[in-house]
Structure 1
Amino acid sequence: MNILLLTSEYAPMRGGIGTYAREIAAAATQLGAKVTMVAPDYGEDTSVADQASPFPVHRFSGGLHSARDLPAKIMLARSRIGAAPFDVVHAADWPFFIPVALARGRTPARVLMTVHGTEINETQTALKRLAIRCSGVFGPRTEVAANSRFTRDLFREKFNIEERRIHAIRLGVSDFWSGRRKDQAAVRAHREIDADRIVMVTVARITRRKGHHLTLEALARLPDELRRRITWLVIGPEGEADYVNDVKRLIQTSDCDVRLLGALSNEDIRDLYGAADFFCLTGLPESSGRVEGFGLVYLEAGAAGLPSIASDIGGVPDAVVAGESGLLVQPRVDMIASVIQQIAEDGDLRARLAAGARAHARDLSWERCAAETYHLPRPQSPARIEAISA
């Protein structure tokens, strides 16, 4: 199978869509497909990383998408789609939907577009709806892959498309997150965290919709003895300056051990997962239309053996299985405080949820995601063959 994958976000830029494009392409390659990646260069020389890629990466001049980039992307899509006999043309995100739709007459290939959540609401303006309709983006040849059941249902609510042409295909998680990491005691010692501390970790940009303030207020409501035993590690870059300042003021006036560690490498994050007891990210809905389409970070933490506390919003229930890989909660301070206390005080519960988190992460591999997305056969492991035979 010959696949052309076009994305407006890719390494070295860090983000969920870039991770999706890279991982699904690598998994499809592992399953025997030939993948050609088309991605922006961000004005950087990416040749060393691209040469190490298991699939060819063709860079175009540009960075994060803006409306003025659309004409260039239309020309780019026409050029790339006509360059080879592709079996699948895959627009990995919204900025390539219109360009691919306008160029599909140049190929008999299966046309696939992936929706991630927020862009569904962002395309509801009159001008964007007109552009989508006039270009026939979701016409009869287009298939849509949604990253969760929530995203699928939101898409069907906003766009008229037959049920058979849209499928909820949950994202995957890289084997990296279950890989080797530094010794827990060594990591804790390096961070000056005592062995008897209960360590909670969050990985997310410090922005209002991620709900750091809810978690902090929930910690403040815990019984004094328990609260003073918890260390909260907050990993991620800073978002809105006013919100970050508010969070920092709350930390200074709280009786909580909160460490703002900033953006870290994936290797450092994996080590800290190994040093922690549970993951917590309590996002909240936004009136702006931004949504949590899936929640890949919960899977990454789960692969590393951490159960999650997560808000029951958007597509998060596909990433965190309630009562099996973590605890889902409404984004209310009192309810968040209750589940933090529950998981912090109950080691047996943490162990059971940790085992479930690892199992859920194993089930949601990128290989599975690529196979479902591109209709690729998956080789059966000896364990699977034995289970089927039994």
Structure 2
Amino acid sequence: MPADLPPRRRPIEGTGLNILLLTSEFAPAMGGIGTYAREIAAAASRLGAKVTVVAPDYARQTADDDRSLPFEVARYSGGLHSMRDMPRKIMLTRRGVRGDRYDVIHAADWPFFIPVALSRWRTPARVLMTVHGTEINETQTPLKRMAIRGAGVFGPRTEVVANSRFTETLFRERFAVDPRRISAINLGVSEYWFGAPRKRREVRLAYRLAEDRLVMITVARITRRKGHHLTLAALSRLPDDLRNRITWLVVGPDGEADYVSGLRRDAEAAAACDIRFLGPQSNEDIRDLYAASDFFCLTGLPDTSGRVEGFGLVYLEAGAAGLPSVATDVGGVPDAVLADETGILVPPSAESISQAIAELAADRDLRAILAAGASSHARALSWERCAATTYGLPYTGRQASAARNIGLTA
């Protein structure tokens, strides 16, 4: 192996690995990258590492919440990333890298790729950069590619971590980087989602769901690429007797206004179909709703804008709660939903989705088999595994301390 390639995820003896993780998204803002940064930092801390997270403050007082975390949070003034912020992030990263003797410098998302690359020569630490999917396409503009090349972002000593096999392949197609410095490491799921919710009967009574109802739940922002309209079209294709037995719970905030209004209008016109838009819910309420449901359904589709589903963490959270999934074979979803093991994976078409819903709704034994598989798959993909594989920390395959899992989702 050439001298400029650092050792790849070799277990480090003992504890005390010092990690600096920089992210442009973090609590209290909601987002998948923020979840990733928070959970991998907490898991690495549970495995014995010292972790410092550098994150924006969103012009809010966060000190009390930050003190409750098992790692240090250093806030900088700012919010969601804008290219105007790049000079400040470069200076911030240079100061951060000089601030301690770090063993690992980790850019959790692309806004810190250039700042970390420009500070690489200031530290002997391993340099990691995580790609999540969509940003790989978004950085293909001539100006951004020029900036990436000029800063030597993916140059010597930089290791690239992709959140799925799909994201790894997409990155390889877009950037000429030594494949030995690229790895696919699936995300994890918090122990929180395995926790005890309210009793199924209690939740069903609260939401006026009869015991004989088949309850299908979707948790996602209501946006075109998440494919709610495909699920609705699939329901309309079901036989009347089956459609009459199904309640579809739609959980999540609104996306594009025209798409949401059209979806709600079509849902109201759907014949003999009980569809309930519940809006955004707390994690506690989502976990309760999982307990009241029979299976999960999220049917994303390819997006011409370049946005992709890099992984699909919500499928794992539903699986941890004991729900099999109906999912579409797009992006990195096949790493989150194992076909015919944890759910039914189909092409993004109304007909295919309808057949999958019918199959899962009609067969209680199949639901039970896939639910067991979904729970087992979610258990295997812990955040401790993700952190250990990413940073090279010792890992026994067990949760280090379940009580300290954070348990928040995007």
Q: TM-score, normalised by structure 2?
A: 0.92
Alignment of 1:228 onto 2:235: no
The residue type paired with residue 201 of structure 1 is I
Alignment of 1:194 onto 2:172: no
Alignment of 1:23 onto 2:39: yes
Alignment of 1:59 onto 2:55: no
Within 1, Cα distance between the matches of 2:334 and 2:352? Answer: 17
- Displacement of 1:331 in angstroms is 0.6
- Displacement of 1:123 in angstroms is 0.3
Alignment of 1:280 onto 2:297: yes
- Displacement of 1:379 in angstroms is 3.1
- Displacement of 1:14 in angstroms is 1.1
Give the structure 2 partner of residue 295 of structure 1: 312
Give the structure 2 partner of residue 97 of structure 1: 113
Alignment of 1:8 onto 2:20: no
Aligned residues: 382
- Displacement of 1:28 in angstroms is 0.4
3-state SS of the aligned residue for 2:250?
Answer: strand
Within 2, Cα distance between the matches of 1:339 and 1:113? Answer: 37
**Which runs of no fewer than 5 residues in structure 1 stay unpaired?**
383-390
Alignment of 1:374 onto 2:391: yes
Within 2, Cα distance between the matches of 1:347 and 1:289? Answer: 38
Give the structure 2 partner of residue 352 of structure 1: 369
Alignment of 1:34 onto 2:32: no
3-state SS of the aligned residue for 2:365?
Answer: helix
Within 2, Cα distance between the matches of 1:309 and 1:105? Answer: 47
Give the structure 2 partner of residue 328 of structure 1: 345
Alignment of 1:78 onto 2:94: yes
Q: Is contact 2:385-2:397 (8 Å) kept?
A: no
Which structure 2 residues correspond to residues 244-259 of structure 1 after superposition, within 5 A?
244-255=260-271, 256-259=273-276
Give the structure 2 partner of residue 388 of structure 1: none
The residue type paired with residue 259 of structure 1 is R
- Displacement of 1:130 in angstroms is 0.2
3-state SS of the aligned residue for 1:306?
Answer: coil
3-state SS of the aligned residue for 1:119?
Answer: helix
Within 2, Cα distance between the matches of 1:272 and 1:230? Answer: 15
Runs of 4+ residues deviating >6 angstroms = none
Give the structure 2 partner of residue 45 of structure 1: 61
- Displacement of 1:106 in angstroms is 1.1
3-state SS of the aligned residue for 1:120?
Answer: helix
Alignment of 1:317 onto 2:317: no
Give the structure 1 partner of residue 183 of structure 2: 167
Bigger shift: residues 276-285 or 249-258:
249-258
- Displacement of 1:381 in angstroms is 5.3
The residue type paired with residue 94 of structure 1 is W
Within 2, Cα distance between the matches of 1:43 and 1:294? Answer: 30
- Displacement of 1:298 in angstroms is 0.2
- Displacement of 1:265 in angstroms is 0.3
- Displacement of 1:232 in angstroms is 0.3
Within 2, Cα distance between the matches of 1:63 and 1:187? Answer: 37
The residue type paired with residue 63 of structure 1 is G
Alpha-carbon displacement from aligned partner over 1:269-293 (angstroms, at most 9, x marks no partner): 0000011000000000011110000
Within 1, Cα distance between the matches of 2:383 and 2:147? Answer: 33
Within 1, Cα distance between the matches of 2:129 and 2:167? Answer: 13
Q: TM-score, normalised by structure 1?
A: 0.97
3-state SS of the aligned residue for 2:21?
Answer: strand
Within 2, Cα distance between the matches of 1:63 and 1:195? Answer: 45
Alpha-carbon displacement from aligned partner over 1:295-354 (angstroms, at most 9, x marks no partner): 000000000000001110110000000000011010100010000000000000000000
- Displacement of 1:380 in angstroms is 5.5
Give the structure 1 partner of residue 404 of structure 2: none
Give the structure 1 partner of residue 158 of structure 2: 142
Match of 1:207 among 204, 218, 223: 223
RMSD of the alignment, in Å? 0.9
The residue type paired with residue 154 of structure 2 is F
Give the structure 1 partner of residue 195 of structure 2: 179
Give the structure 1 partner of residue 149 of structure 2: 133
The residue type paired with residue 155 of structure 1 is F
The residue type paired with residue 26 of structure 1 is A
Within 1, Cα distance between the matches of 2:255 and 2:396? Answer: 43
Alignment of 1:118 onto 2:134: yes
Within 2, Cα distance between the matches of 1:368 and 1:51? Answer: 25
3-state SS of the aligned residue for 2:51?
Answer: strand
3-state SS of the aligned residue for 2:116?
Answer: helix
Alpha-carbon displacement from aligned partner over 1:154-198 (angstroms, at most 9, x marks no partner): 000000011110000000000000101001011011011111100
Within 2, Cα distance between the matches of 1:235 and 1:303? Answer: 18
The structure, 1 or 2, with the larger RCO (C-alpha pairs under 8 Å, 6+ apart) is 2
- Displacement of 1:90 in angstroms is 0.1
Within 2, Cα distance between the matches of 1:361 and 1:269? Answer: 17
Q: 1:381 to 1:120 in 2, by over 3 A?
A: closer
**Which runs of no fewer than 5 residues in structure 2 stay unpaired?**
1-16, 400-410
3-state SS of the aligned residue for 2:210?
Answer: coil
Within 1, Cα distance between the matches of 2:305 and 2:235? Answer: 27
Give the structure 2 partner of residue 386 of structure 1: none
3-state SS of the aligned residue for 1:258?
Answer: strand
